[in-house]
A and B are shown apart, each in its own frame.
Chain A
């Protein structure tokens, strides 16, 4: 009788917590989207911001966010995956490995503003690049690496040991076993990790303030010369992202429609993250099916 009562209470409490979390999430999303909905015009999404007058857009910022994401992933995914493979399959179980693991934990708990200041010192000043996409991407790599290493290590470890045995028993070398047997099987976990990391890149502001910078040149989208300061693809130009733009407009925006711009930018950011997540999930499923023939 008593156990039953406790069970009922626990069920109610847990359901309540779940409902509360979902309510907060739905409320937040609804609030952001309803406030920003009216700004979601083609003009706002594509035109550059205006520093003084009303009517500016967030085109370059949206592009910067996406481009920075691509750059960051190009750098951090191979590193994270490589380190994950090493930790899961090659690292001997000893003091050094344990201390590497500890370092990764510590790195993952660094406040992002500290990562940003470290980035300012190393990737902006010491390299002499100034505020640039590349500096931002490297700072975000520092920020993301622990997560990626951890998740790919776990994903590879979670592949049943029998898969490895089967491969070794066929005389297949360790490296080829990792590449052709373990990685494909670990793919869903790795994709989830990459999506999580990407979400953080989209949303990150503090680590980017002093690395990718708080301004963006007026981009000329048909300029493909990588050296040109107005080329969207130049990785060594300053690049304010959407999240940084929201923060900047909110704190020091001078235009009369600053609030409006921030609301609109927030809505776009949320939608972009949503679309990206759905797209990445679809791609991950497609890739998994392609590599393993397994339909999930």
Chain B
């Protein structure tokens, strides 16, 4: 994917009338949204509101679900990714993803990070070593694991595993990082570390994070989008959305009347 011929201001993701359905059930209906480069965007909303489904359509992870149908348009860097001739492997290199539960491979810490770069063509040991170190440093994990890179990633704590997964995604040098409730299974201290990490990473990456934790969204995001029943109710600067929401439903949700 070439970014040179892209001239649409600062927008990196643009969806238009994006709908996702599982069989007969519509999970996301007609969402149009723009996300700017090098910002953190938080998706909030009650369970089942479609925020995760929307997120997963941005790197076409929904392709894994046979009954899933996606309609509408998603442009990333000006390229329509729902086209059937889009190179999905290339797309996923550009758009990294971290999941709700840390899912390191059953491999060593080193292999967890080196696996994908090696698959995508980097063979030299020195280069891989460099990628592993840089990714772990960016994920603020290097100092904790540098002496045991050959040990199993499963021996790490939950918080370390999640940061390893972030490092693994960074190793692909993506432009966009999708985080699907990355801290929901972590203790407060690990959560804090992940949040600090996210704030540091936004200089280099565009980050989209789904979260159940409104405080988290308020702390780390530049913009917040509120989803309800598969629809995008409101999206605005985080500071504005949380202090003076335009929609009644948003206000009810953030003040804890439901959800």
Contact = CB atoms under 8 A, between A and B. Distances in A.
A180 interface: yes
B115 A172 contact: yes
B64 A168 contact: yes
Nearest to B168: A170
Interface of B: 59, 61, 64, 88-93, 96-97, 99, 101, 103-108, 111, 115-116, 119-120, 150-154, 165, 168-169, 172
B107 A292 contact: yes
Given A165-B64, A165-B99, A295-B152, A173 B105 contact: no
Contacts, number: 81
Nearest to B165: A166
B105 A169 contact: no
A188 to B, nearest CB: 10
B116 A292 contact: no
A32 interface: no
A171 B106 contact: no
Contacts of A185: 105-106
Contacts of A164: 64
Nearest to B178: A169
Given A169-B61, A171-B93, 17 more contacts: A163-B105, A164-B64, A166-B103, A166-B165, A168-B64, A170-B96, A171-B91, A171-B119, A172-B116, A180-B119, A184-B106, A291-B107, A292-B152, A293-B107, A293-B151, A293-B152, A294-B154
A287 to B, nearest CB: 13
A259 interface: no
A167 interface: yes
Contacts of B120: 171
A293 B92 contact: no
Contacts of A162: 99, 101, 103
Contact of A163 (B88, B93, B103, B169): B103
B103 A170 contact: no
Contacts of A293: 107-108, 111, 150-153
Nearest to A169: B97
B254 to A, nearest CB: 30
A181 interface: yes
A173 B150 CA distance: 25
A55 B116 CA distance: 63
Interface string A170-205: 111100100011001100000000000000000000
